[in-house]
Amino acid sequence: MLAIRPYHQRDAARAGMVIADTYAAFNLNQMAVEQRELMLGPFLHARSAEELHQRAIAAAIRAPTVLVAEEAGNIVGVLRGGRMDELRRTVLQSLFVSGSHHRRGIGRALVKEFEGEYVARGVTVFKLLATMHAVPFYLAHGYRKSTGVRNIRSFDGVGLPSQPMKKVIK
């Protein structure tokens, strides 16, 4: 059974692997190896047992709200969000669902839980930078393109195409 629950520090290694694998396979797959490694940042070392690597991963996951999707004891999805931008809009910072679990409603369940938490606190505008892969997903969830595509930085890498999107709750 699928459960959406808050992330705990002890989830860091497993959540880091979901992020590393999904990001590399679906978002960075067209890039040269060198560029992909720069863009993965600390997640390049998701399978390293070194404490320094694991600490950097835990730090990169940190966000005001982090949710995980868990199924049969495995973490299969991670959502980070809740930072406010300069216009005081709430940011959905990142979302990853393991490739083997796509199109089973897990991304939808994570976004619904996240939005519900912030709408209950009075938030009416959400924004995000969607990967090109995720644009249809966010369009299906009420997000709209707010500008053209931009090339953004990801850790030490530059040039990741990204679509700014926002959703206004009515």
Ligand X SMILES: CC(C)(COP(=O)(O)OP(=O)(O)OC[C@H]1O[C@@H](n2cnc3c(N)ncnc32)[C@H](O)[C@@H]1OP(=O)(O)O)[C@@H](O)C(=O)NCCC(=O)NCCS
Q: Interface with ligand X includes 161 (CB under 6 A)?
A: no
The set of residues, in sequence order, having a beta carbon less than 8 Å from that of 119 and lying 6+ positions away, is: 169
Contact 113, 67 (CB under 8 A): yes
Q: Which of 59, 82, 71 is nearest to 4 (CA)?
A: 71
Q: Which is nearer to ligand X, 38 or 98 (CB)?
A: 98
Name the residue with the smallest CB distance to ligand X. Answer: 107
Q: Interface with ligand X includes 102 (CB under 6 A)?
A: yes
Q: Interface with ligand X includes 96 (CB under 6 A)?
A: yes
Q: Whole-number minimum distance, CB 23 to ligand X, in Å?
A: 6
Neighbours of 126 (CB within 10 A): 24
Q: Whole-number minimum distance, CB 55 to ligand X, in Å?
A: 24
With CB under 6 A as the rule, give the number of residues binding ligand X: 22
Measured between alpha carbons, how far is 17 from 98 in angstroms, rounded to an integer? 9
Contact 13, 50 (CB under 8 A): no
Binder of ligand X out of 20, 68, 75, 134 (CB under 6 A): 134
Measured between alpha carbons, how far is 113 from 152 in angstroms, rounded to an integer? 27
Q: Whole-number minimum distance, CB 47 to ligand X, in Å?
A: 19
Q: Please calculate the CA angle 147-150-154 and round it to the nearest 5 degrees.
A: 135
Q: Whole-number minimum distance, CB 31 to ligand X, in Å?
A: 14
Binder of ligand X out of 45, 89, 104, 145 (CB under 6 A): 104
Binding region for ligand X (CB under 6 A): 22, 26-27, 94-97, 102-108, 128, 130-131, 133-134, 136-137, 140
